[in-house]
Amino acid sequence: MQWRFFGSVVLACVGAAAASAQQIALMPMPASAKRADGSLTVTPVHGLSHFTVAFARNGAPGALTADTRLLDAAHRMLVRLDRTCGGDVLRSVNGPASGRATLTIEVAREGEAVQSLDEDESYKLDVTPAGAQLTAATDVGAMHGMETLLQLASHVGGACVLPAITIDDAPRFRWRGFMLDVSRHFEPLPVIKRTLDGMAVAKLNVFHWHLSDDQGFRAESRRFPRLTSVGSGGLFYTQEQMRDIVAYARARGIRVVPEFDMPGHSTSWILAYPEIGSGEDIRALPTTFGIPVAELDPPRESTYKFLDGFIGEMSGIFPDAYFHIGGDETPGTGWMANSRIRAFMQRRGFAGPPELQAYFNQRLLPILERHGKRMIGWDEILNPALPKDIVIQSWRGEESLAAGARQGYEGILSAPYYLDAQKSSAQMFLADPLPADTKLDAGQQTLVLGGEVCMWAEQLDPETVDSRVWPRTLAVAERFWSPQSNRDLPYLYQRLRRASLELEDVGLLHISGPQQLRRNLAGTLHPEALELLASVTEPVSFSDREEEQHTDAYNSLDRLVDAVVADPPSRQAMAGDVDAVAGDVRLPAGGKDSPDTSGDVPEGFPPTRGEAIADLEERFFAWQRNAPALLQLARETPRLNDIEPLAVELGELGAVGAQALTFVDTRTAPPPGWAERADALLTRSAHNTALVRFTFLPSIEKLVLAAEARGR
Ligand code: ACM
């Protein structure tokens, strides 16, 4: 079963003799890692031991040479190491009373006062049986190294150990971001903090905070208090809270780039201050989603005075060099309905709204500059009228990133990393901001700064945010950090499972949150049957859901679709099993340019044919056995009424799967008509019901094809 994958990667005690074959499961994969013999014992089998950390600067040891940020990070690392190693590591960051510390951290300098794109994030980690040495140019690199060290710890031969290893690591891209929309649904402070903790594990370095949109303005302004008193519905961050988040992020090596969407997606601004809008009569915050009809008023000078005051105020809270102005989806509906604005466009010779938007952005540039900011915005701000020092965030496709680079603009890629598209980790991981076959020349390639994962919040709330974001974001974070040649999918999934558990350890609720939601949904009737269904279904994509969502039934975000996750572990496990039974088994070794991980193929992967058959039999049997319970659950639970077709089909698919497995295993030809009936069931089951879909249909189809082949 799926346990097999991570069970043997890090958790199993494999005995002292096997210490050299101990698994490493680093994520993101470092640029270079070389294993050596032996390991550093964190807890001895008997007796007391201190895991001590000493700091050195410029080669000179001394406990007091660490700055507060580094010291705090070391404390956090030791708390987590304690948990991994069983709670019995006695920890100290003051160095040992005598002799060598277990870990010496040497950092050349603290790092930039305001972290920039050019912050040196590299580090080296050297673990030998006698001790560990972490060296970095800055605190930020050292913090990345500490995350790596934590991932090395595991239990071998009755002790918690770090394998002997030399890691020399640095990120591939400088901009490795995560965007969170807190406008469509508000996310309270603890969610933001644990998201930042997850980002630190993933070595992501930019938190892009989408603070305003039509449905709510979430940042307190003292100059313009109506933005939140009228425009937030009461859900917003105070200035102290935003400062707290900036500090929390900085303590983890993460920049915070705020986004205030303008001139479109600005209904909440205009509800609060109609005088900066283009004449729309806004009476309330919208509660539905889509492309808005309201825009800020570009011809009016007072609009820029307002924005100057607002941006100045926000610049005192957000020190980052970049200020995100949004700029997406501005069709100009409000502008074209306003005769004064149309006349302005005519006088200026603007052909349409894109030219007026470019004018608006040109007016924003000196304002941003005056407050020490560089402009970043979505695709739509790309316009030759704007200077080359703006950054384009590409959301409409990979090609628009390249188009910007060819025109000399820096850019970051987001189009393939929209989490609400509900794509698999593998699909997102393989999408590369700079693919091997890029047509960009060397100079243009340097303009691609990296990418950002995006989490929009139309269908998201504080209970579901973690499971929508994690663990898939880890796969993209690895794409941004690790060498381009790292493309091995089985190996990715093995490490993802282990790193996913680590995320819960830092406080994310992406595993336990959906479990709780499912318990609430199922009650005491047949919770195990719902668990089974949830393990093999995933949410439909945003676009499919958007179509179907206009009923009250789905507005509360507490349905099965909210309690299942994209790309659940069973999908990959079943695909591996079917490959083992029906051929085409892929080994999970790294590519030739990958770090040296020889000896790191975990036990139980790939499964033997016998294991795979046993796993599949068990699954197919469970689907059939649970079908009556699922059906009863569907009929008796109002919020689950719509899963009835899934309950019926899961039982039928279990039966067909079991039959196909028997035909393949016993090399028996299926009876006449069987294949047609199986194909018809597969076709019938490939639908979106209750806003979820089955994840395993390609695996069953492969098995059915293999069975059919027996008949030829
Ligand atoms: C966007 O998805 N409208 C940036």
Residue 615 lies in a domain: yes
Q: Which amino acid is at 710?
A: R
**Ligand 1 atom closest to Cα of residue 456:** 2
3-state secondary structure 641-670: HHHHHHHHHHHHHHHHHHHHHHHHHCCCCC
**Main-chain phi, psi angles of 423, to 5 degrees:** -80, 165
Residue 93 lies in a domain: yes
Residue 701 lies in a domain: yes
Domain of residue 705: give its range. Answer: 512-710
**Ligand 1 atom closest to Cα of residue 418:** 2
Write the DSSP string, 455-504.
Answer: E--TT--TTTHHHHHTTHHHHHHHHHHS-TT---HHHHHHHHHHHHHHHH
- The tally of domains found in the chain comes to 2
Confidence of residue 87 (pLDDT cuts 50, 70, 90): low
Average pLDDT of the segment spanning 496-514: 96
Per-position b or e across 611-634, b if 16+ CB within 10 A of its CB: bbbebbbebbebbbebbebbbebb
Average pLDDT of the segment spanning 58-68: 67
Q: How far is the CA of 277 from the centre of ligand 1 (A)?
A: 21
Q: Which of 110, 313, 329, 644 is catalytic?
A: 329
Q: Report the pLDDT value the prediction gives residue 369, as an integer from 0 to 100.
A: 98
> What span, in angstroms and rounded, lies between the C-alpha atoms of 353 and 339?
14
Handedness of CA 419, 420, 421, 426 (dihedral sign): positive
Residue 155 lies in a domain: yes
Q: Report the pLDDT value the prediction gives residue 315, as an integer from 0 to 100.
A: 98
> What span, in angstroms and rounded, lies between the C-alpha atoms of 201 and 150?
10
Q: Which of 404, 397, 437 has the alpha carbon at shortest distance from 421?
A: 397
Q: Report the pLDDT value the prediction gives residue 50, as an integer from 0 to 100.
A: 74
52 has a pLDDT exceeding 90: no
* SS3 label, residue 124: strand
Residue 597 lies in a domain: yes
What angle in degrees, to the nearest 10, is found between the helix axes of 68-84 and 489-505?
100
Question: CB of 632 within 8 A of CB of 525?
Answer: yes
In the block, which residue shows the tokens 């293999």?
Answer: 706
**Ligand 1 atom closest to Cα of residue 378:** 4
516 has a pLDDT exceeding 90: yes
* Residues ≥6 apart with Cβ < 8 Å to 551: none
**Ligand 1 atom closest to Cα of residue 329:** 3
Residue 137 lies in a domain: yes
- Which of 395, 414, 420, 452 has most ligand 1 atoms within 8 Å of CB, for mutation? 395
- Mean pLDDT of the chain, nearest integer: 90
Question: CB of 562 within 8 A of CB of 520?
Answer: no
Q: Report the pLDDT value the prediction gives residue 554, as an integer from 0 to 100.
A: 62
Confidence of residue 99 (pLDDT cuts 50, 70, 90): confident
Confidence of residue 680 (pLDDT cuts 50, 70, 90): very high
Residue 558 lies in a domain: yes
Q: How far is the CA of 119 from the centre of ligand 1 (A)?
A: 28
Q: What's the N-to-C CA distance of the chain in angstroms?
A: 31
Pairing of strands 90-92, 206-213: unpaired
Residue located nearest, by CA, to atom 1 of ligand 1:
328
Q: How far is the CA of 393 from the centre of ligand 1 (A)?
A: 10
Q: Report the pLDDT value the prediction gives residue 40, as an integer from 0 to 100.
A: 94
412 has a pLDDT exceeding 60: yes
In the block, which residue shows the tokens 């900066």?
Answer: 276
Average pLDDT of the segment spanning 281-293: 86
Q: How far is the CA of 339 from the centre of ligand 1 (A)?
A: 28
386 has a pLDDT exceeding 60: yes
Q: Which of 60-74, 289-303, 345-359, 473-487 has the lowest mean pLDDT?
A: 60-74
Question: Which residues is 156 bridged to in the sheet?
Answer: 159
- Boundary of a domain, candidates 169, 202, 219: 169
Q: How far is the CA of 291 from the centre of ligand 1 (A)?
A: 10
- Boundary of a domain, candidates 137, 169, 201: 169
| Residue 329 falls in the annotated catalytic set | yes
Question: CB of 700 within 8 A of CB of 660?
Answer: yes
Q: Which of 413, 433, 429 has the alpha carbon at shortest distance from 473?
A: 429
Question: Which residues is 412 bridged to in the sheet?
Answer: 393, 450
Q: Convert the pLDDT of each residue in 3-42 to its tens digit.
A: 222 222 222 222 333 333 345 789 999 999 999 999 999 8
> What span, in angstroms and rounded, lies between the C-alpha atoms of 215 and 266?
9
Question: Which residues is 167 bridged to in the sheet?
Answer: 33, 125
**Ligand 1 atom closest to Cα of residue 379:** 4
> What span, in angstroms and rounded, lies between the C-alpha atoms of 13 and 219?
49
Output the CA–CA distances (angstroms, integers) from residue 217 to 181, 185, 233, 264, in the order listed: 11, 11, 8, 13
> What span, in angstroms and rounded, lies between the C-alpha atoms of 431 and 425?
10
Question: CB of 208 within 8 A of CB of 178?
Answer: yes
Q: Report the pLDDT value the prediction gives residue 3, as an integer from 0 to 100.
A: 24
**Ligand 1 atom closest to Cα of residue 326:** 4
Handedness of CA 131, 133, 139, 143 (dihedral sign): negative
- Furthest-apart CA pair in the chain: how many Å? 85
Which pair of structure tokens corresponds to residue 3? Answer: 């346990």
Angle at 571 between CA 565 and CA 574, to 5 degrees: 155
> What span, in angstroms and rounded, lies between the C-alpha atoms of 614 and 209?
47
More confident residue, 374 or 605: 374
Q: Convert the pLDDT of each residue in 139-193 to its tens digit.
A: 999 999 999 999 999 988 888 899 999 999 999 999 999 999 999 999 999 999 9
Q: Convert the pLDDT of each residue in 582-635 to its tens digit.
A: 874 343 443 333 444 444 445 456 789 999 999 999 999 999 999 999 999 999
Of the chain, the percentage scoring pLDDT greater than 70 comes to 89
Q: How far is the CA of 487 from the centre of ligand 1 (A)?
A: 28
- Which of 329, 380, 382, 413 has most ligand 1 atoms within 8 Å of CB, for mutation? 329
User: Residues enclosing ligand 1, CB less than 6 A?
Assistant: 328-329, 378, 395
Residue 684 lies in a domain: yes
Q: How many CB atoms lie within 10 A of CB 341?
A: 23
Average pLDDT of the segment spanning 493-513: 96
> What span, in angstroms and rounded, lies between the C-alpha atoms of 642 and 433?
40
Q: Report the pLDDT value the prediction gives residue 49, as an integer from 0 to 100.
A: 62
Angle at 466 between CA 460 and CA 472, to 5 degrees: 105
Q: Report the pLDDT value the prediction gives residue 23, as an integer from 0 to 100.
A: 55
**Main-chain phi, psi angles of 301, to 5 degrees:** -60, -35
**Main-chain phi, psi angles of 501, to 5 degrees:** -65, -40
Q: How far is the CA of 375 from the centre of ligand 1 (A)?
A: 17
684 has a pLDDT exceeding 90: yes
Q: How far is the CA of 532 from the centre of ligand 1 (A)?
A: 35
**Ligand 1 atom closest to Cα of residue 454:** 2
120 has a pLDDT exceeding 90: yes
107 has a pLDDT exceeding 70: yes
Q: Report the pLDDT value the prediction gives residue 47, as an integer from 0 to 100.
A: 53
553 has a pLDDT exceeding 70: no
Handedness of CA 490, 495, 498, 499 (dihedral sign): negative
* Residues ≥6 apart with Cβ < 8 Å to 362: 385, 386
> What span, in angstroms and rounded, lies between the C-alpha atoms of 77 and 81?
6
- Which of 456, 458, 543 has most ligand 1 atoms within 8 Å of CB, for mutation? 456
Q: How far is the CA of 198 from the centre of ligand 1 (A)?
A: 23
* SS3 label, residue 216: strand
- Boundary of a domain, candidates 149, 169, 189: 169
* SS3 label, residue 39: strand
Q: Report the pLDDT value the prediction gives residue 519, as an integer from 0 to 100.
A: 95
287 has a pLDDT exceeding 70: yes
**Ligand 1 atom closest to Cα of residue 265:** 3
Output the CA–CA distances (angstroms, integers) from residue 174 to 114, 167, 446, 682, in the order listed: 15, 19, 11, 45
Q: How far is the CA of 395 from the centre of ligand 1 (A)?
A: 6
Residue located nearest, by CA, to atom 2 of ligand 1:
395
Q: Which of 82-86, 94-98, 526-530 has the lowest mean pLDDT?
A: 94-98
8-state DSSP, 102: S
Question: How many helices and strands (H and E) does the chain possess?
Answer: 25, 20
Q: Report the pLDDT value the prediction gives residue 92, as an integer from 0 to 100.
A: 75
> Is the N-terminal amide bond of 28 cis, ω within 30° of 0?
yes
Q: Which of 538, 412, 415, 424 has the alpha carbon at shortest distance from 473?
A: 424
CB half-sphere exposure, 500, CA atoms < 13 A: 27
Q: How far is the CA of 84 from the centre of ligand 1 (A)?
A: 40
Residue located nearest, by CA, to atom 3 of ligand 1:
328
CATH number at residue 119: 3.30.379.10
Q: Report the pLDDT value the prediction gives residue 100, as an integer from 0 to 100.
A: 80
Question: CB of 540 within 8 A of CB of 422?
Answer: yes
Q: Report the pLDDT value the prediction gives residue 2, as an integer from 0 to 100.
A: 27
